[in-house]
Structure 1
Amino acid sequence: MASRVTALLAREGFAGEVLVADRERVQVNEVAGGVPQRSTWRWASVSKQVAAALTMRQVQAGLVKLDEPVMGRLPAATAHPRITWRHLLMHTTGLEDIEVSDWPADPVGACLGKARQPPGERFEYRNCDTVLVARLLQQVTGRPYAQLLHEELTAAVGPHRVSIASSPPELAAYGAAGALTGTALDLLAFDRALLARRWLQAEYTQVMWTGEPALGYVALGAWAFEAPIRGCTQPVALVERRGAVRGVQVRNIMAPTLGKIVIVFTLAEDFEFGEVWQGQGFTHDLLSAALCG
């Protein structure tokens, strides 16, 4: 399997890091294109997956109900009063999106503009939704988001190097929506905590990983779907989170029923991953090599 992955990276001219693991062993940790081993990476929108997992911890603790309206918790909110945690985590709030480059120092107020349509009707990707999740989590837990992140991760995975970037400004501006940094092994530890149900009990994990077919299989903070993969005897259930920010692309993919994890970071902003469900392209071929050999 490792040789198949290595051959794929060479064929694609890949520059970055690929990690393949199961619940106990790292099976491949390949770096290519001059990338140092154990690099600290920008996690980009995998940050949103972490925010969703932090929210579900509060759901499990009884502090949050996914379908409770949340706008009343935010002073001077003019957004639709029926917006819930679930809407925020699935990007179905109906709020107008604002480019991160146009955010003020505290973007919460700017992200609370009037709704363009009622919540729950359409999926529309917004960084603002996760900014609001972070602010709400601070209110619910009484802890600054950075402190909540550090403490909850430490409790689940032990020592780690995950943090929210404070520089450069163009990265730090994303906050909870895209400014997390850490190593590939840090991300592996997070994924393993999810797979092993150390992060959440099984019923809450299932809620988080239930994709909505009518909305493109978006789940809470990720996408969850089945896809046919070359070499596998039947379609594979996948939980996928992708991201791109300021010179880095990332793919974080779990196959829960197989107990396998595939993590990819690349420095190439224009690297073409393809779509798994199309049965071709880099991500599909990598999963075929990693999961189906």
Structure 2
Amino acid sequence: MSESLHTTRTTEAGQDRPELEKAIQAFVDAGFAGMQMRVNDERGEWVGSAGVRKLGASANPPTNGRFRVGSSTKTFVATVMLQLVAEGKVELDSPAAGRLPQFGLDPRITVRMLLQHTSGLFNYTGEHHPEVETGLPAVGKEWVDNRFRTYQPEELVRFALSKPARFEPGTEWSYSNTNYTVAALLIEQVTGRPYAEELRQRILEPLGLRGTVAPGAQLDIPGPHAHGYSRYQDAGQWKVVDVTRQNPSLLYAAGDMISTTDDLHTFFSALNSGKLLPAWLLTEMRTPHPRSGALVYGLGLSVQDLGPSGGTVLHHNGSAPGGYGALMYSTPDGRNTLTASLTGGDAAIDPIDLIKEFAGLQDKLIKEVFCNGQAGPSSHNRSTIPSGTKPAEGDA
């Protein structure tokens, strides 16, 4: 695997960011195949990449490359839903069941509960806290063998509803992809249009996000991109499979989107600067549920306190099956952002060790970008690394 570093810059003339070059190289040195990153702050815009775009090749990941963003999708879906709330087409604390009678949802489940993960609905990709309860295959050999299968969103929801609820609606917090698939179906019922069309008309076109798409069952990543890999054990042997082509319908509206670091920056900056939602709904979005633990989760995003040296950052990271991971961070005013993509590879490292290594590197990266490298409190919001290197948790 090549560990060469390629950096491009759109900052002011002569401005270098060696600390950022070092930061992304550290992820490659730890065992990731490649990383591309974009930072926008008071010094301008910096764009760089490290590692390789494909195993066995030497080319770096394209800095304008597209990638599967995983659960960063949820922030887009939450924004569309809250726009409908702002327009009076749905109420945040209204029941979802009446709008979607075909599912027989618990009538106590509200729109707010879906967006903040307090509905109690079983996560259709599996539950892992504290015991493991199997869901639809999202990692490992079983997912690799079925990665071209098309799932209908109604099928995903009915599978989840065939499992016992985790808790009474509104009484606890548990991250569940099911919530956002139901939310998308609710968007479709309210508007009479596919959620992907609402996304396009409300966010993608107004912001000029030409590299972003809700792909449905499309197998390919259009445009330049790095390859994704699934590394798993089969009969006691490690296998590495190129799974760049896959059917993302398993994570309908919960983790299916494709985007770029530039588009994620534009979207998250616009959202946090108040261009997409009225102030009162942005406040609702940023108000974490008290039971959301380390994730400090509001309505489609997380809030992280970096202490006096960094203040507050907002984020929603993601991982998608096949070794893709996404980082999406912003200051509350939308002026400073960090967006990135990582891909897993064939590094002979124990997945648990890679998870630990990633958590430390992510902390250092966030402090470098938002705290000028100063060590602040270690706020361990849930880390996200490319799927296939860890059990399928809620941030697929």
Cα drift, residue 267 of structure 1: 0.4
Q: In the alignment, is residue 227 of structure 1 matched against residue 302 of structure 2?
A: no
CA contact (8 A) 1:18 1:31 kept: yes
Aligned partner (choices 47, 56, 59) of residue 29 of structure 1: 47
Matched, 1:243 2:292: no
The alpha-carbon deviation at position 209 of structure 1 amounts to 1.2
| Gaps in structure 2 of 5+ consecutive residues | 1-15, 52-59, 126-135, 139-149, 220-245, 346-350, 373-396
Q: Which residue of 2 aligns with 1:96?
A: 122
- Report if the CA contact (8 A) 2:209-2:263 is conserved: no
Alpha-carbon shift at residue 215 of structure 1 (Å): 2.0
SS at match of 1:177: coil
Q: Distance in 1 between matches of 2:76 and 2:365?
A: 24
Moved more, 154-163 or 203-212: 154-163
- Tell me, in whole angstroms, the C-alpha distance in 1 between the residues paired with 2:49 and 2:310: 29
The answer to whether 1:202 aligns with 2:279 is yes
Structure 1 contact 21–261 (Cα < 8 Å) conserved: yes
1:66 is aligned to 2:81: no
Name the structure 1 match of 2:258.
181
Query: Aligned letter for 2:169?
Result: P
Residue 24 of structure 2, aligned match among 9, 13, 17: 9
With 239-248 and 9-18 compared, the bigger mean Cα shift is at 9-18
Q: Residues 25 and 241 of structure 1: is their aligned pair in 2 closer, same or farther, counting only changes over 3 Å?
A: same
- Letter of the 2:48 partner, please give it: E
The structure having more radius of gyration, on CA atoms, is 2
Matched residue SS, 1:212: coil
Q: Match of 1:221, as an amino acid?
A: G
* Equivalent-residue separation in structure 1 for 2:91 and 2:67 (angstroms): 33
Distance 1:258 1:289 in 2: 18
Percent identity over the alignment is 27
Deviation at 1:117, TM superposition (A): 2.2
Further displaced range: 253-262 or 264-273: 264-273
User: After the TM superposition, which of the residue ranges 176-185 and 12-21 deviates more from structure 2?
Assistant: 12-21
1:266 & 1:145 partners in 2: Cα distance? 27
Given that 2:196 and 2:214 are in contact with CA atoms closer than 8 Å, whether structure 1 keeps it comes out as: yes
Q: Which residue of 2 aligns with 1:158?
A: 208
* Change beyond 3 A, Cα 1:50–1:25: farther
Let me know the Cα RMSD of the aligned residues: 2.4
Q: Which amino acid aligns with 1:20?
A: V
For residues 183 and 368 of structure 2, the distance between their equivalents in structure 1, rounded to whole angstroms, comes to 37
1:134 aligned residue: 184
Superposition deviation, residue 263 in structure 1: 1.1
- The count of corresponding residues between Structure 1 and Structure 2 is 283
User: Could you say which residue in structure 2 is the equivalent of 1:268?
Assistant: 344
Distance 1:285 1:85 in 2: 36
2:368 corresponds to which residue? 289
Map Cα deviations across residues 13-51 of structure 1 (whole Å, 9 max, x no partner): 2621111113x8852211111212210111111011111
1:156 and 1:193 in contact (8 A); partners too = no
Does the Cα contact within 8 Å between 1:227 and 1:236 map onto a contact in 2?
Answer: yes
Give the helix-richer structure, 1 or 2: 1
CA distance in 1 between counterparts of 2:188 and 2:43 reads 35
Instruction: Choose from 68, 74, 80 the match for 1:48.
Output: 74
TM-score, normalised on structure 2? 0.66
